[in-house]
Amino acid sequence: MSVPTKISYGVLVATLILAAWLHLGPLLLAALFSYFALRKLQAGTNRKWLSFILFLICVVGIAYAAGYFGRAAWRALPEVADSSIPSATAWAEKRNIELPFTDFETLKAFLIDQLKAEIHYLNNVAHFAGAATTLLILIVIGIVVAVSLFFHSSLDRHPRAAPKTVASNLYDVSAAEIASRFQDFYRSFETVMGAQIIISSINTVLTAIFVLIIGLPHAAVVIGVTFLCGLLPIVGNLISNTIIVFLAATISAKSAIVALIFLIAIHKFEYFLNGKIVGHRIRNPLWLTLLALVLGEKLMGLPGMVLAPVILNYVKMEASRMPVEDTVNIERSLKSEV
């Protein structure tokens, strides 16, 4: 492996480490998702400026939808909790499982205690507002970074401060290798998240039809949560499915059973979609994906859980392209030494 190649891998690893250490996961995610959207829009229009204008319209629409969904979720959360928690506690009591809450007020107190224990700097409204403002700024910076990369993605190969350069110098070769590493990382993101978005969208549409047919309460909130949770592999479906089953139980036991059967069928259908949409490009065992999700959450929180399958797939891509010595010759040399 050449020196420029080692430098490029070091820059990529340092970027991920700094993103985790400095809590810049939202910025990295915003940049990746924005660049992903810009590239997809360009594929449909073949014009960068038109793609950029459409992207701005999408950002404004998403911001408005997020505000509307946030207000709806905030209003519906107490009612959802009050109607679903009794079903959850009854289910847990039958199985001798002790839950840390019995109603919405105890759930709220439990969540507040957890936030105080794990996020001690969010102990008052001012700090919470500051954290929310920081998150918004990071997302905006990520969008700006994605737009700048979209219009000018190459590094300056010949700096004006150093006009006397030699061919194949360290800076030029390293810049090309760094660009190649980040392009490969983006391709991994495009592969994993592109497939995840398609699968989550199909799952959300089918779930929305089911939710509206059975008349599940707070349908808009449930549909939005289903799509967002669908972006998280494995864990996301468990979260959204649990919410739907408990809400269905507030209608009747029969509705809960029907919801459970429907969600199991959807889950099996998603396995089929994974095989068709992702194909043989992503074939990671379940335990490895779960381990990556846990490590991602510990290192970077929710953005880490989203990025964990991407990083796992990227490592697999890079490792599969690195040649190694013939294992047969290695085994023979080891036997000869013994």
- Alpha carbon distance 136, 240 (integer Å): 25
- In this predicted model, which residue has the larger pLDDT, 186 or 338? 186
| Interval 263-319: pLDDT, tens | 888 777 766 666 566 555 566 676 777 788 888 888 888 788 888 888 988 988 888
Percent helix, strand and coil across the chain, each to the nearest 5: 80, 0, 20
**Lookup: tokens for 177:** 């290798």
Tokens of 128: 């919470």
CB atoms within 10 A of CB 79: 14
SS3 220: helix
177 near 4, Cβ under 8 Å?
yes
Mean pLDDT check: name the lowest of 113-117, 188-192, 325-329. 113-117
Task: Give the residue among 139, 120, 122 at the shortest CA–CA distance from 33.
Answer: 139
Mean pLDDT of the region 231-253: 74
Q: What is the pTM of this model?
A: 0.70
What average pLDDT does this structure show over 101-110? Answer: 53
**CA neighbor of 62 nearest in space, from 218, 303, 191, 228:** 228
pLDDT (tens digit per residue) in 73-90: 666 665 655 555 555 555
DSSP letter at 321 equals: T
Give the list of residues 6+ apart from residue 262 with CB closer than 8 angstroms, or none: 210
For residue 203, pLDDT over 70 is answered with yes
pLDDT value of position 45: 77
H helices present in 22-47, as ranges: 25-45
> What is the per-residue pLDDT across 32-68, written as a single tens digit (0 to 9) for each?
999 998 988 888 778 888 889 999 998 888 888 777 7
At 163 the pLDDT is 57
Quick one: what percent of the chain has pLDDT higher than 70? 67
Confidence bin at 158 (pLDDT 50/70/90) = low
